[in-house]
Amino acid sequence: MAKASSNGAFELCVKQEEPTLVPPEETEKGLYFLTNLDQNIAVIVRTIYCFKSDSKGNEQSAEIIKDALSKVLVHYYPLAGRLTISSEGKLIVNCTGEGAVFVEAEADCAIEEIGDITKPDPVTLGKLVYDVPGAKNILEIPPLVAQVTKFKCGGFVLGLCMNHCIFDGLGAMEFVNSWGETARGLPLKVPPFLDRSILKARNPPKADFPHHEFAEIEDISNTANLYEEEMLYRSFCFDPEKIEKLKKAAMEDGVLPKCTTFEALSAFVWRARSKALGMKPEQQTKLLFAVDGRQRFRPPIPAGYCGNGIVLTNSLCSAGELLENPLSFSVGLVQEAVKMVTDGYMRSAIDYFEITRARPSLAATLLITTWSRLSFHTTDFGWGEPVLSGPVALPEKEVILFLSHGKERKSINVLLGLPASAMEVFEEQMQF
């Protein structure tokens, strides 16, 4: 039985065995190129997938998943290598074939006892993903670290730690689904397209567009002080009815002929968060979000492209403009930011990094990351689809995550962390 900690809260106990390396059955050697879009978001992403089958226990789960990993890594061989720095000072993969890190573990309770995994909980959920001890930077963390934790009820959790420079959400999803197909003895539905040179910078590079995603904004509202408070993590569910109501509110003044769920929800939470953080009217604030460029590049990127096919776009305005204008104003800004993402803009973003090596700045910024279109819930290793799946933690305090929710995935969960006093204001604005 999982024990309650001294303050009465649930405390998950997980016993991890020693990590092993799972090399691919065969591999290509050499250096593997990562694009400028990969360089930009080299953060560690931790996710978990909970499986439980009525007809099949978890006795063989680790063995089957580990065996399938050595086979699927043949197709995805860069994952078995190690990150290093190229002669140009950029991240690159050294395809050593060392293998992914794999850990078997056991939990002392039933899977249901973990509670609500739709809310990031780094303390509890973090125990289900193996952290490489003593790693001082991302170069010391292998591109793929996997942990299979068996629970007393016959269920198990696959916890993954992957570097975003290897995959974006879609690429990661295709990899995990391919791994599941391999475990079930099936051919890969979407074989990976590994040649990332299709997105290399032009020679000579030319930045044809302004790239405000990199703009450093001064925090004149002193929000940094707020962040010294205790951080609270919450998830807010927007069901189809609430989403419809929000879209109607965005269009009621007749300024916008149409708007998508993403546009309405992004604009709404951007306003709500700016207000919750007590931004001064003259405070510049920036919204950043990723747009999938796969179909927007000319020619479009081939199916199965496993690198980052996403490009960050942005909106910039003052908090005053955001809050004093109707919702249609901020939705309009989001629509402009989406429209901006053309082949020319994306090539310019790739070249801008080539010239400046700049990283997107997160000062006075909200970064929205959308997983609501990713079908992580379809992954099947032979125990059926996951009963639950999601992130372990939000990568940065400036990030808000949109996750699809419910049986038909029609609802959206909005996940975020805010300082306690700001969360109170944010929660009030979610009631509409």
3-state DSSP assignment of residue 339 = helix
Structure-token pair, residue 90: 């950029």
Bridge partners of 162? 45, 144
C-beta of residue 404 within 8 angstroms of C-beta of residue 371 = yes
C-beta of residue 264 within 8 angstroms of C-beta of residue 414 = no
Structure-token pair, residue 214: 């990199």
DSSP secondary structure letters along 13-26: -EEE---EEE--SS
**Phi, psi (deg, nearest 5) at residue 95:** -80, 85
Q: One of 75, 164, 211, 405 is an active-site residue; which one? A: 164
Q: One of 67, 121, 292, 380 is an active-site residue; which one? A: 380
State which H helix or E strand residue 314 sits in. Answer: strand 310-318
3-state DSSP assignment of residue 361 = coil
Active site includes 164? Answer: yes
- 109-122 in b/e burial notation, b at 16+ Cβ within 10 A? bebebbeebbebbe
| Separation in Å, CA 118 to CA 23, 50, 152, 233 | 33, 12, 21, 11
d(CA 206, CA 70): 42
Q: What is the DSSP letter of 212?
A: G
Annotated active-site positions, please? 164, 380
